[in-house]
Amino acid sequence: MLTTMPRRPSAIQRELKQTRPFASPAQEAGVALLRTADVLRHDVDRVLAPHGITGQQYNVLRILRGAHPGKLPTLEIAARLIERQPGVTRLLDRIEARGLVTRERCREDRRQVLCRITRAGLDVLAAADGPLNEIESRRLGRLAGPDLEKLVRILDRVREEEA
C-alpha cells in the first residue's frame, strides 16, 4: 500500500497560522496575492503618512504628475486608478483642500472638470519617491529581472477579463 506524506504547510499557511490545507491551489494563490498586496500597501501607507496623504491620494497625484503640465478630466483619473473608487470627487476634494491639485470646469464642455497637479503636489511626490523606490527594491528586488517580468505577465493574466 502506497502512502503519501502530508504536504508541508506553505509559507502563506504558516504566516496566517492556518492548520488546514486550502480548498484548491487557486484559493491558496488568491489568498497569497491578497496578503502580498496588503503587505505592500502597509509599507506604502507608512511612507506616505508623514506627508499627510493616503495611498489613493498618492495614486491620483502620480496620475496627474504623468500628465503635467497638462490637465486630466476627473473621469480619466478615475479610469486610471490602481484601486477603483466610486468617490473620486470626494478624493479630489480632500487633496484640493490641501492645495495639491486644482480643478476647473472645461470651457468646451461645462459638465467636465479638469484637474492639474500643483507645485505643492509635485513636491509631495518628490519627497515620497525615494522611500517608495526603496520599498519596491527591498520587496521586489528579491526577484531577478526575468522573474519580475514573468510575475508581471502572470498578474496580467490574472486580471484579464473573460471573453
Q: What is the tens place of the pLDDT at every residue in 29-75?
A: 998 999 999 999 999 999 999 999 999 999 999 999 999 999 999 88
Give me the number of domains the chain comprises.
Answer: 1
- Residue 7 falls inside a structural domain: no
Query: Are the beta carbons of 74 and 89 closer than 8 angstroms?
Result: yes
| pLDDT tier for residue 93 given thresholds of 50, 70 and 90 | very high
What span, in angstroms and rounded, lies between the C-alpha atoms of 115 and 62? 12
DSSP character at residue 49: G
Residue where the block lists cell 491551489: 25
What span, in angstroms and rounded, lies between the C-alpha atoms of 161 and 85? 19
- Residue 10 falls inside a structural domain: no
CATH of the domain at 111: 1.10.10.10
Range of the domain at 39: 26-158
- Residue 49 falls inside a structural domain: yes
- Residue 100 falls inside a structural domain: yes
Give the sign of the dihedral formed by CA 72, CA 104, CA 49, CA 14. Answer: negative
